[in-house]
Protein backbone atom coordinates (compact mmCIF):
# COMPACT_ATOMS: atom_id res chain seq x y z
CA UNK A 1 0.00 0.00 0.00
CA UNK A 2 1.52 3.42 -0.92
CA UNK A 3 2.58 5.79 1.85
CA UNK A 4 0.27 8.71 2.53
CA UNK A 5 0.07 11.86 4.61
CA UNK A 6 -2.61 11.44 7.28
CA UNK A 7 -4.42 14.54 8.55
CA UNK A 8 -7.22 14.48 11.15
CA UNK A 9 -10.79 14.24 9.91
CA UNK A 10 -12.81 15.59 12.81
CA UNK A 11 -16.33 16.89 13.12
CA UNK A 12 -17.71 17.56 16.59
CA UNK A 13 -17.02 14.52 18.74
CA UNK A 14 -16.28 12.18 15.82
CA UNK A 15 -12.86 11.46 14.34
CA UNK A 16 -12.93 9.09 11.38
CA UNK A 17 -9.24 8.35 10.94
CA UNK A 18 -6.06 7.80 12.94
CA UNK A 19 -2.33 8.33 12.54
CA UNK A 20 -0.31 5.11 12.88
CA UNK A 21 2.97 6.78 13.83
CA UNK A 22 1.22 9.08 16.28
CA UNK A 23 -0.58 6.18 17.95
CA UNK A 24 2.70 4.29 18.20
CA UNK A 25 4.45 7.31 19.75
CA UNK A 26 1.62 7.67 22.28
CA UNK A 27 1.89 3.99 23.22
CA UNK A 28 5.68 4.28 23.51
CA UNK A 29 5.32 7.20 25.92
CA UNK A 30 2.91 5.20 28.08
CA UNK A 31 5.25 2.20 28.05
CA UNK A 32 8.15 4.38 29.23
CA UNK A 33 5.97 5.73 32.03
CA UNK A 34 4.97 2.19 33.03
CA UNK A 35 8.53 0.88 32.99
CA UNK A 36 9.68 3.76 35.17
CA UNK A 37 6.83 3.27 37.64
CA UNK A 38 7.40 -0.49 37.79
CA UNK A 39 11.17 -0.39 38.15
CA UNK A 40 12.21 -3.41 40.20
CA UNK A 41 8.63 -4.74 40.45
CA UNK A 42 8.24 -8.16 38.84
CA UNK A 43 4.76 -9.23 39.89
CA UNK A 44 4.47 -11.70 37.02
CA UNK A 45 1.43 -13.88 36.57
CA UNK A 46 -1.22 -13.77 33.85
CA UNK A 47 -3.79 -11.14 32.98
CA UNK A 48 -6.76 -10.66 30.67
CA UNK A 49 -7.99 -7.21 29.67
CA UNK A 50 -11.40 -7.10 28.00
CA UNK A 51 -11.64 -3.81 26.13
CA UNK A 52 -7.88 -3.29 25.83
CA UNK A 53 -7.25 -0.99 22.89
CA UNK A 54 -7.98 2.53 24.14
CA UNK A 55 -8.34 4.60 27.31
CA UNK A 56 -8.28 2.82 30.64
CA UNK A 57 -8.23 -0.61 29.00
CA UNK A 58 -5.11 0.21 26.99
CA UNK A 59 -3.48 1.72 30.08
CA UNK A 60 -4.27 -1.49 31.98
CA UNK A 61 -2.74 -3.67 29.25
CA UNK A 62 0.40 -1.53 29.31
CA UNK A 63 0.61 -1.32 33.11
CA UNK A 64 0.20 -5.05 33.57
CA UNK A 65 2.70 -5.99 30.88
CA UNK A 66 5.38 -3.32 31.24
CA UNK A 67 5.18 -2.15 34.87
CA UNK A 68 4.54 -5.55 36.45
CA UNK A 69 5.83 -7.95 33.79
CA UNK A 70 2.61 -9.91 33.62
CA UNK A 71 1.73 -11.96 30.55
CA UNK A 72 -1.39 -10.20 29.29
CA UNK A 73 -3.97 -11.07 26.65
CA UNK A 74 -5.87 -8.06 25.30
CA UNK A 75 -9.34 -8.34 23.75
CA UNK A 76 -10.88 -5.57 21.64
CA UNK A 77 -12.95 -4.86 18.52
CA UNK A 78 -11.13 -2.55 16.11
CA UNK A 79 -11.21 -1.90 12.37
CA UNK A 80 -8.03 -2.83 10.47
CA UNK A 81 -6.70 -0.62 7.67
CA UNK A 82 -8.03 -0.85 4.14
CA UNK A 83 -7.10 0.67 0.79
CA UNK A 84 -9.40 3.64 1.44
CA UNK A 85 -9.22 4.08 5.22
CA UNK A 86 -6.77 4.08 8.04
CA UNK A 87 -7.34 1.61 10.81
CA UNK A 88 -8.97 2.82 14.01
CA UNK A 89 -6.71 4.27 16.65
CA UNK A 90 -7.26 1.23 18.87
CA UNK A 91 -5.95 -1.08 16.15
CA UNK A 92 -2.77 0.98 15.78
CA UNK A 93 -2.40 1.14 19.58
CA UNK A 94 -2.59 -2.63 19.86
CA UNK A 95 -0.17 -3.16 16.99
CA UNK A 96 2.36 -0.79 18.55
CA UNK A 97 2.02 -2.42 21.97
CA UNK A 98 2.51 -5.91 20.54
CA UNK A 99 5.54 -4.77 18.56
CA UNK A 100 7.22 -3.17 21.58
CA UNK A 101 6.41 -6.18 23.75
CA UNK A 102 8.16 -8.44 21.27
CA UNK A 103 11.22 -6.20 21.28
CA UNK A 104 11.36 -6.11 25.08
CA UNK A 105 10.67 -9.77 25.74
CA UNK A 106 7.26 -9.13 27.30
CA UNK A 107 4.59 -11.72 26.54
CA UNK A 108 1.34 -10.27 25.21
CA UNK A 109 -1.25 -11.42 22.70
CA UNK A 110 -4.35 -9.94 21.14
CA UNK A 111 -7.79 -11.11 20.04
CA UNK A 112 -9.60 -8.66 17.76
CA UNK A 113 -13.32 -9.37 17.64
CA UNK A 114 -16.71 -8.76 19.23
CA UNK A 115 -16.21 -9.51 22.92
CA UNK A 116 -19.99 -9.87 23.36
CA UNK A 117 -20.05 -12.88 21.04
CA UNK A 118 -19.84 -16.56 21.91
CA UNK A 119 -17.24 -17.06 19.17
CA UNK A 120 -14.77 -14.55 20.62
CA UNK A 121 -15.29 -15.90 24.13
CA UNK A 122 -14.43 -19.37 22.86
CA UNK A 123 -11.35 -18.02 21.05
CA UNK A 124 -10.19 -16.23 24.18
CA UNK A 125 -10.78 -19.29 26.36
CA UNK A 126 -8.67 -21.40 24.01
CA UNK A 127 -5.90 -18.79 23.96
CA UNK A 128 -5.90 -18.44 27.74
CA UNK A 129 -5.85 -22.21 28.18
CA UNK A 130 -2.81 -22.52 25.91
CA UNK A 131 -0.77 -19.51 27.00
CA UNK A 132 -2.19 -17.45 29.89
CA UNK A 133 -3.59 -19.83 32.49
CA UNK A 134 -4.34 -19.50 35.29
CA UNK A 135 -5.49 -15.90 35.22
CA UNK A 136 -4.39 -13.84 38.21
CA UNK A 137 -6.03 -10.63 37.00
CA UNK A 138 -9.10 -9.93 34.84
CA UNK A 139 -9.98 -6.38 33.86
CA UNK A 140 -13.34 -5.53 32.35
CA UNK A 141 -13.11 -2.19 30.53
CA UNK A 142 -15.54 -2.84 27.71
CA UNK A 143 -17.38 0.21 26.36
CA UNK A 144 -19.59 -0.12 23.32
CA UNK A 145 -22.77 1.66 22.22
CA UNK A 146 -24.05 -1.43 20.42
CA UNK A 147 -24.34 -5.11 21.28
CA UNK A 148 -25.40 -7.95 19.05
CA UNK A 149 -26.99 -10.23 21.62
CA UNK A 150 -25.13 -13.55 21.54
CA UNK A 151 -28.23 -15.65 22.20
CA UNK A 152 -30.71 -14.38 19.63
CA UNK A 153 -28.73 -12.09 17.31
CA UNK A 154 -30.71 -8.94 18.17
CA UNK A 155 -28.86 -5.66 17.68
CA UNK A 156 -29.29 -3.63 20.87
CA UNK A 157 -28.29 0.03 21.14
CA UNK A 158 -27.60 2.06 24.25
CA UNK A 159 -29.10 5.52 24.71
CA UNK A 160 -27.76 8.72 26.30
CA UNK A 161 -30.90 9.98 28.02
CA UNK A 162 -32.19 11.04 31.43
CA UNK A 163 -34.67 8.89 33.28
CA UNK A 164 -38.06 10.11 34.50
CA UNK A 165 -38.07 13.74 33.39
CA UNK A 166 -36.68 15.90 30.59
CA UNK A 167 -33.29 17.38 31.37
CA UNK A 168 -31.85 20.68 30.19
CA UNK A 169 -28.13 21.20 30.55
CA UNK A 170 -25.32 23.37 29.31
CA UNK A 171 -23.20 21.77 26.66
CA UNK A 172 -20.66 22.84 24.08
CA UNK A 173 -20.80 23.03 20.31
CA UNK A 174 -17.37 21.62 19.49
CA UNK A 175 -17.52 22.85 15.88
CA UNK A 176 -18.20 26.50 16.79
CA UNK A 177 -16.73 26.70 20.33
CA UNK A 178 -20.01 27.92 21.77
CA UNK A 179 -21.72 27.17 25.07
CA UNK A 180 -25.31 26.22 24.37
CA UNK A 181 -28.20 24.48 26.07
CA UNK A 182 -29.73 21.17 25.13
CA UNK A 183 -32.93 19.54 26.37
CA UNK A 184 -33.11 15.76 26.38
CA UNK A 185 -36.36 13.87 26.62
CA UNK A 186 -36.50 11.00 29.11
CA UNK A 187 -35.76 7.47 27.99
CA UNK A 188 -38.54 4.98 27.43
CA UNK A 189 -38.59 1.75 29.46
CA UNK A 190 -37.34 -0.07 26.36
CA UNK A 191 -34.42 2.33 25.94
CA UNK A 192 -33.47 1.90 29.60
CA UNK A 193 -33.57 -1.88 29.30
CA UNK A 194 -31.53 -1.83 26.10
CA UNK A 195 -28.86 0.43 27.62
CA UNK A 196 -28.52 -1.86 30.61
CA UNK A 197 -28.34 -4.87 28.26
CA UNK A 198 -25.47 -3.27 26.34
CA UNK A 199 -23.47 -1.63 29.13
CA UNK A 200 -24.57 -3.42 32.29
CA UNK A 201 -23.31 -6.54 33.99
CA UNK A 202 -24.73 -9.31 31.82
CA UNK A 203 -21.66 -9.66 29.61
CA UNK A 204 -19.27 -9.46 32.57
CA UNK A 205 -21.18 -12.27 34.25
CA UNK A 206 -20.96 -14.37 31.08
CA UNK A 207 -17.20 -13.83 30.83
CA UNK A 208 -16.52 -14.80 34.42
CA UNK A 209 -18.82 -17.81 34.30
CA UNK A 210 -17.08 -19.05 31.14
CA UNK A 211 -13.60 -18.54 32.60
CA UNK A 212 -14.57 -20.19 35.90
CA UNK A 213 -16.27 -23.20 34.30
CA UNK A 214 -13.19 -23.71 32.11
CA UNK A 215 -10.97 -23.74 35.21
CA UNK A 216 -8.91 -20.77 33.98
CA UNK A 217 -9.05 -18.56 37.08
CA UNK A 218 -6.37 -18.67 39.77
CA UNK A 219 -7.85 -19.15 43.27
CA UNK A 220 -6.78 -15.64 44.28
CA UNK A 221 -7.82 -13.99 41.01
CA UNK A 222 -8.68 -10.31 41.08
CA UNK A 223 -11.38 -8.95 38.82
CA UNK A 224 -11.51 -5.19 38.28
CA UNK A 225 -14.60 -3.74 36.60
CA UNK A 226 -14.29 -0.08 35.61
CA UNK A 227 -17.08 2.38 36.36
CA UNK A 228 -17.70 6.11 36.71
CA UNK A 229 -19.77 8.23 39.09
CA UNK A 230 -18.89 11.85 38.43
CA UNK A 231 -20.19 15.07 40.01
CA UNK A 232 -23.81 15.96 40.61
CA UNK A 233 -23.72 18.45 37.75
CA UNK A 234 -23.58 15.52 35.30
CA UNK A 235 -25.74 13.05 37.23
CA UNK A 236 -29.06 13.55 35.35
CA UNK A 237 -27.44 12.54 32.06
CA UNK A 238 -24.91 10.15 33.55
CA UNK A 239 -25.26 8.63 37.02
CA UNK A 240 -29.07 8.74 37.26
CA UNK A 241 -29.58 8.53 33.50
CA UNK A 242 -29.59 5.47 31.28
CA UNK A 243 -25.80 5.03 31.36
CA UNK A 244 -25.75 5.36 35.13
CA UNK A 245 -28.38 2.66 35.50
CA UNK A 246 -26.22 0.42 33.32
CA UNK A 247 -23.16 1.18 35.47
CA UNK A 248 -25.19 0.45 38.61
CA UNK A 249 -26.08 -2.94 37.11
CA UNK A 250 -22.41 -3.56 36.32
CA UNK A 251 -21.46 -2.72 39.90
CA UNK A 252 -24.19 -5.01 41.27
CA UNK A 253 -22.84 -7.84 39.12
CA UNK A 254 -19.31 -7.18 40.39
CA UNK A 255 -20.52 -7.44 43.99
CA UNK A 256 -22.26 -10.74 43.25
CA UNK A 257 -19.06 -12.06 41.65
CA UNK A 258 -17.08 -10.91 44.68
CA UNK A 259 -19.24 -13.05 46.94
CA UNK A 260 -18.57 -16.04 44.66
CA UNK A 261 -14.79 -15.50 44.46
CA UNK A 262 -14.08 -14.65 48.10
CA UNK A 263 -14.27 -18.17 49.58
CA UNK A 264 -11.24 -19.23 47.49
CA UNK A 265 -9.35 -16.00 48.18
CA UNK A 266 -10.34 -14.10 45.03
CA UNK A 267 -11.90 -10.66 44.77
CA UNK A 268 -14.18 -8.82 42.36
CA UNK A 269 -13.85 -5.07 42.75
CA UNK A 270 -15.23 -1.99 41.04
CA UNK A 271 -12.78 0.78 40.28
CA UNK A 272 -14.53 4.13 39.91
CA UNK A 273 -12.16 5.99 37.60
CA UNK A 274 -11.92 9.70 36.91
CA UNK A 275 -13.48 11.40 33.90
CA UNK A 276 -11.11 11.51 30.95
CA UNK A 277 -11.38 12.60 27.34
CA UNK A 278 -12.50 9.73 25.12
CA UNK A 279 -14.60 9.57 21.99
CA UNK A 280 -17.38 8.02 24.06
CA UNK A 281 -17.29 10.66 26.81
CA UNK A 282 -17.13 13.43 24.22
CA UNK A 283 -20.50 12.30 22.87
CA UNK A 284 -22.33 12.73 26.19
CA UNK A 285 -24.13 16.09 26.37
CA UNK A 286 -22.54 18.32 29.01
CA UNK A 287 -19.52 16.10 29.60
CA UNK A 288 -17.08 17.85 27.20
CA UNK A 289 -17.90 21.17 28.89
CA UNK A 290 -17.47 19.59 32.33
CA UNK A 291 -14.12 18.12 31.29
CA UNK A 292 -12.92 21.44 29.88
CA UNK A 293 -13.74 23.09 33.24
CA UNK A 294 -12.62 20.30 35.57
CA UNK A 295 -9.36 19.51 33.79
CA UNK A 296 -8.36 23.17 33.84
CA UNK A 297 -8.89 23.22 37.61
CA UNK A 298 -7.08 19.90 38.11
CA UNK A 299 -4.19 21.14 35.99
CA UNK A 300 -3.99 24.37 37.99
CA UNK A 301 -3.80 22.32 41.19
CA UNK A 302 -1.28 19.81 39.82
CA UNK A 303 -3.79 16.96 40.10
CA UNK A 304 -4.48 16.12 36.45
CA UNK A 305 -3.82 12.50 35.47
CA UNK A 306 -3.91 10.74 32.13
CA UNK A 307 -5.32 7.19 32.08
CA UNK A 308 -1.86 5.56 32.27
CA UNK A 309 -0.97 7.50 35.44
CA UNK A 310 -4.25 6.62 37.09
CA UNK A 311 -4.02 2.93 36.25
CA UNK A 312 -0.41 2.74 37.45
CA UNK A 313 -1.63 4.21 40.73
CA UNK A 314 -4.53 1.74 40.81
CA UNK A 315 -2.17 -1.20 40.35
CA UNK A 316 0.41 0.05 42.84
CA UNK A 317 -2.02 1.03 45.60
CA UNK A 318 -4.89 -1.40 45.23
CA UNK A 319 -4.62 -4.20 42.68
CA UNK A 320 -1.25 -5.90 42.75
CA UNK A 321 -0.67 -9.04 44.87
CA UNK A 322 -0.18 -8.32 48.54
CA UNK A 323 -2.13 -5.07 48.42
CA UNK A 324 -5.40 -4.61 50.27
CA UNK A 325 -7.62 -2.27 48.30
CA UNK A 326 -9.02 0.79 50.05
CA UNK A 327 -12.78 0.90 49.49
CA UNK A 328 -15.57 3.45 49.90
CA UNK A 329 -18.81 2.85 51.80
CA UNK A 330 -20.21 0.95 48.82
CA UNK A 331 -17.16 -1.30 48.50
CA UNK A 332 -15.60 0.47 45.50
CA UNK A 333 -12.07 1.66 44.80
CA UNK A 334 -12.21 5.41 44.20
CA UNK A 335 -9.59 6.38 41.64
CA UNK A 336 -11.62 9.54 41.03
CA UNK A 337 -10.49 10.85 44.42
CA UNK A 338 -8.60 13.79 42.92
CA UNK A 339 -11.41 14.80 40.59
CA UNK A 340 -13.96 14.57 43.38
CA UNK A 341 -12.02 16.53 45.99
CA UNK A 342 -14.29 19.07 47.65
CA UNK A 343 -12.18 22.08 46.65
CA UNK A 344 -12.12 20.91 43.03
CA UNK A 345 -15.85 20.29 42.80
CA UNK A 346 -16.73 23.58 44.52
CA UNK A 347 -14.77 25.39 41.82
CA UNK A 348 -16.37 23.26 39.10
CA UNK A 349 -19.86 24.16 40.34
CA UNK A 350 -18.97 27.85 40.56
CA UNK A 351 -17.55 27.97 37.05
CA UNK A 352 -20.38 25.86 35.63
CA UNK A 353 -22.93 28.39 36.84
CA UNK A 354 -20.94 31.30 35.39
CA UNK A 355 -19.81 29.84 32.09
CA UNK A 356 -21.04 31.28 28.80
CA UNK A 357 -19.54 31.49 25.35
CA UNK A 358 -17.91 34.79 26.39
CA UNK A 359 -16.41 33.42 29.62
CA UNK A 360 -15.44 30.03 28.13
CA UNK A 361 -11.78 30.99 27.44
CA UNK A 362 -11.31 32.13 31.06
CA UNK A 363 -13.26 29.51 33.02
CA UNK A 364 -12.39 26.41 30.97
CA UNK A 365 -9.65 25.15 28.71
CA UNK A 366 -11.41 24.01 25.57
CA UNK A 367 -8.20 23.94 23.55
CA UNK A 368 -6.65 21.49 26.02
CA UNK A 369 -9.78 19.33 25.69
CA UNK A 370 -9.47 19.37 21.89
CA UNK A 371 -5.75 18.61 22.14
CA UNK A 372 -6.46 15.55 24.30
CA UNK A 373 -9.20 14.49 21.89
CA UNK A 374 -6.84 14.63 18.91
CA UNK A 375 -4.18 12.74 20.85
CA UNK A 376 -6.63 9.81 21.13
CA UNK A 377 -6.24 9.31 17.38
CA UNK A 378 -2.49 9.82 17.19
CA UNK A 379 -2.51 13.51 16.30
CA UNK A 380 -0.61 16.32 18.04
CA UNK A 381 1.83 13.88 19.61
CA UNK A 382 5.25 15.35 20.34
CA UNK A 383 8.03 14.20 18.05
CA UNK A 384 5.83 13.01 15.17
CA UNK A 385 6.33 14.55 11.73
CA UNK A 386 2.79 14.92 10.42
CA UNK A 387 4.01 16.19 7.05
CA UNK A 388 5.81 12.91 6.37
CA UNK A 389 3.97 10.13 4.50
CA UNK A 390 3.35 7.01 6.60
CA UNK A 391 2.39 3.41 5.97
CA UNK A 392 -1.20 2.93 7.10
CA UNK A 393 -1.23 -0.83 6.43
CA UNK A 394 0.18 -1.91 9.79
CA UNK A 395 0.08 -5.56 10.75
CA UNK A 396 -1.33 -6.69 14.09
Distance of CA 160 to the CA centre of its chain: 17
Sequence-ordered alpha helix ranges (H) in 48-179: 55-62, 89-104, 118-127
| C-alpha of 345 from chain center | 22
Give Cα 150 to chain centroid, integer Å.
23
Residue 170's beta-bridge partner residues?
Answer: 181
Residues 65, 81, 195, 62, Cα dihedral to 10°: 10
* CA separation for the pair 135, 37 (Å, rounded): 23
Packed helices 55-62 and 20-37: angle between N→C axes, nearest 10 degrees: 50
Q: How far apart are CA 378 and CA 34, in angstroms?
A: 19
Calpha distance 172→179 (Å, rounded): 5
385 contact partners, CB below 8 Å, separation of at least 6: 21
Three-class SS of residue 167?
A: strand
Kindly give, in sequence order, each residue whose CB lies less than 8 Å from that of residue 204, ignoring residues fewer than 6 positions away: 140, 142, 225, 250, 253, 254, 257
Q: What φ, ψ does residue 108 adopt, rounded to 5°?
A: -135, 160
Best CA proximity match to 250, nearest among 199, 213, 182: 199
Q: Are residues 377 and 18 in contact, defined by beta-carbon separation less than 8 angstroms?
A: yes
Active site residues: 238
**Alpha-carbon gap, residue 227 to 140, rounded angstroms:** 10
d(CA 231, CA 198): 23
Query: What gap in Å lies between CA 94 and CA 109, rounded to an integer?
Result: 9
Please give the C-alpha separations between residue 11 and each of 16, 141, 210, 216, 283, in angstroms, as whole numbers.
9, 26, 40, 44, 12
- Provide the CA 302 distance to its chain's centre, in angstroms: 22
Amino acid sequence: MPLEIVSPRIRGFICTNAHPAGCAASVDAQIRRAEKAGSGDRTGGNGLVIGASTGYGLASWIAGAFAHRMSVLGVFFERPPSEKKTATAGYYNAAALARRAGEKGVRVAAVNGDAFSHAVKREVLDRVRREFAPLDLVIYSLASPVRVHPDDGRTIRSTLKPVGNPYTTKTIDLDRDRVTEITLEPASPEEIADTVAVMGGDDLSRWMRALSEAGLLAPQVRLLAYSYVGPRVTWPIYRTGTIGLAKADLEKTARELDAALKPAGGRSLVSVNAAVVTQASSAIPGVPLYLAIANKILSEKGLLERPIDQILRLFADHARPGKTASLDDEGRIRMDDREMRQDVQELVAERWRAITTDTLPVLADLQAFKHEFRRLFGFEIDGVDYQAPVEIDVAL
